[in-house]
Chain A
Amino acid sequence: MDATIIIDSLPSLLKATLMTIILAAVSIVIALVIGFLTAIVRIVKIRVLTEIASVYVSIIRGTPLLVQIFVIYYGFPQIGISLDPISSGILALSLNAGAYLSESFRASILAIDKGQMEAAVSMGMTYWQALRRIILPQSLRIAIPTLSNSFIILIKDTSLVSVITVTELLQMSSLVIAKTFEPLTIYLTAAAIYWVVITGFTLLLDNMERRTSRHLVR
């Protein structure tokens, strides 16, 4: 292993890390929206939407992410939907994480004691007011640990998008290796960067969890 190789390749790797972070961040935001709406639709039972939501969750959970990426990038153009690699990647990652997040949201909403909803509506709140003001703030706090788990998986899954030529961290590592012939050094460097990104993110969420559970500490 040679330190100069690491130093020389670091600028390219860090630039690609930025792409990894952007892929992850954009996908997380979209996945949160999809996951949240899907969970609400399944809990409130909004006719056909509920069925669509369960089919969606079942398909995503029952198939490999790599296959989903291929279907979107290589398959969709056949039905007239051509997306560039980055958009395909983001779409696949968001749909995938969204399904898992919806399960976490759903479980965390159902975990709230039913007395909470009863107390809220018996004051005269509407179902939505009760959901928004009483149920969701509590379930979000419960959901944070599982959410952060899904986020970590999503950050790792961005590496799969390298197969459709998005130059994120893993893809860039391979490109650098093609020039330097130092797979061990470069892949270990990439691994170290993933570790730093994921650990930083985990600390951020832990901090958030601590702040939102203040009321549970005596």
Chain B
Amino acid sequence: MGVIQIENLQKKFGDNAVLRGVDLTVDKSEVVVIMGPSGSGKSTFLRCLTFLEEPCDGIIHIGDYKVNAGGKLDRSRRQTIRELRKKTGFVFQSFNLFPHKTALENVMEGPIVIHGAKPDEARKRAEELLIKVGLGDRCNHYPAQLSGGQQQRVAIARSLSLNPTVMLYDEPTSALDPELVREVLQVIKDLAREGMTMVIVTHEMNFAKEVADRVIFMDGGVIIEQGTAKEIFEHPKEERTKKFLTMVEE
């Protein structure tokens, strides 16, 4: 059984059906890369998994938590969604670091607020995590004093601070200058090697070839085809995939 199990996920914005029944199972330690043209619903899909968007239909199962879409937002459902989020790290394209907190405080925030950790413990753990992402010397910098690549690595450390079961990334390097992309991808690769279960929306094909156990091509709110990076990039079966790949490779 997968760590992530999504069944028939559907999402509409008004009349606009953005997700039209997506099924996905991700095994433990598996790295799944999602690609697809702009507007195909990739971000919406990831956001629905942690209920940043409320899906219209479907079942979301991550780790020990299972939530049906479209239920009433009562106390117990909100509680379950929160528990699910604690175990699901989410990395945003725009980092979304807390600008009034230092790098260290950003990474300490979760353990203190969510787990009720003591400041000393939280600090120690945060320092370890920042060292892990190569920013041991930037602990006391504010986000505004860090480059985009450094900010995104702090954001990854922040997600890791809650010991997530899975990590979701929505175009983690799209907002970065080209020369800063590598340092972020390197951190994600290290996590892949350690066995972290991850779903990554990205346009970085070389990165996908290196880390992805599976590549999913999405368009029009459905999964068009999936397979190993080699299968998808070198021998795509579907017309739409081929068209997308020739566009990206240009």
Binding site for B on A (CB under 8 A): 113, 115-116, 118-126, 129, 133-134, 137-138, 141, 215-216, 218
- Residue of A124, A133, A141 near B82 (CB, 8 A) is A124
Do A215 and B114 touch across chains, with their CB atoms under 8 A apart? Answer: no
Min Cβ gap A175→B in Å is 49
Q: Report if A215-B50 is in contact (Cβ < 8 Å); known contacts: A119-B92, A123-B114.
A: no
Which residues of the other chain, B, contact A123 by a CB distance below 8 angstroms?
A: 85-86, 109-110, 113-114, 158-159, 162
A137 to B105 Cα, complex, angstroms: 14
Min Cβ gap A135→B in Å is 10
Which residues of the other chain, B, contact A218 by a CB distance below 8 angstroms?
A: 144-145
Min Cβ gap B159→A in Å is 8
Which residues of the other chain, A, contact B82 by a CB distance below 8 angstroms?
A: 124-126
Do B144 and A215 touch across chains, with their CB atoms under 8 A apart? Answer: yes
Beta-carbon contacts under 8 Å, B127-175 to A? 142-145, 155, 158-159, 162
Do A125 and B99 touch across chains, with their CB atoms under 8 A apart? Answer: no
Do A118 and B96 touch across chains, with their CB atoms under 8 A apart? Answer: yes
Min Cβ gap A212→B in Å is 8
Do B96 and A138 touch across chains, with their CB atoms under 8 A apart? Answer: no
Do A215 and B86 touch across chains, with their CB atoms under 8 A apart? Answer: no
B52 lies within 8 A of chain A by Cβ: yes
Binding site for A on B (CB under 8 A): 50, 52, 82-83, 85-86, 88, 90, 92, 94, 96-102, 109-110, 113-114, 142-145, 155, 158-159, 162
A182 to B85 Cα, complex, angstroms: 72
Min Cβ gap B82→A in Å is 5
- Residue of B96, B110, B155 near A113 (CB, 8 A) is B96
Min Cβ gap A139→B in Å is 10
Min Cβ gap B107→A in Å is 11
Which residues of the other chain, A, contact B110 by a CB distance below 8 angstroms?
A: 123-124
Which residues of the other chain, A, contact B145 by a CB distance below 8 angstroms?
A: 218
- Residue of B52, B83, B100, B159 near A118 (CB, 8 A) is B52
Closest residue on chain B to residue A137 by CB atoms: B100
- Residue of A121, A134, A137, A216 near B85 (CB, 8 A) is A121
Do B92 and A118 touch across chains, with their CB atoms under 8 A apart? Answer: yes
A155 to B227 Cα, complex, angstroms: 70
Which residues of the other chain, A, contact B142 by a CB distance below 8 angstroms?
A: 215-216
A134 to B96 Cα, complex, angstroms: 11
User: Closest 6 CB pairs between A and B?
Assistant: A124-B86, A119-B96, A115-B96, A215-B142, A122-B90, A124-B85
A124 to B65 Cα, complex, angstroms: 13
A133 to B114 Cα, complex, angstroms: 12
Do B100 and A141 touch across chains, with their CB atoms under 8 A apart? Answer: yes
Min Cβ gap A68→B in Å is 37
A218 to B144 Cα, complex, angstroms: 7
A137 to B98 Cα, complex, angstroms: 10
Do B144 and A216 touch across chains, with their CB atoms under 8 A apart? Answer: yes
Do A125 and B114 touch across chains, with their CB atoms under 8 A apart? Answer: yes
Known: A115-B94, A218-B145. 14 other contacts (CB 8 A): A116-B96, A119-B98, A120-B98, A122-B50, A122-B85, A122-B88, A124-B110, A124-B114, A124-B162, A129-B113, A133-B113, A134-B98, A134-B109, A215-B142
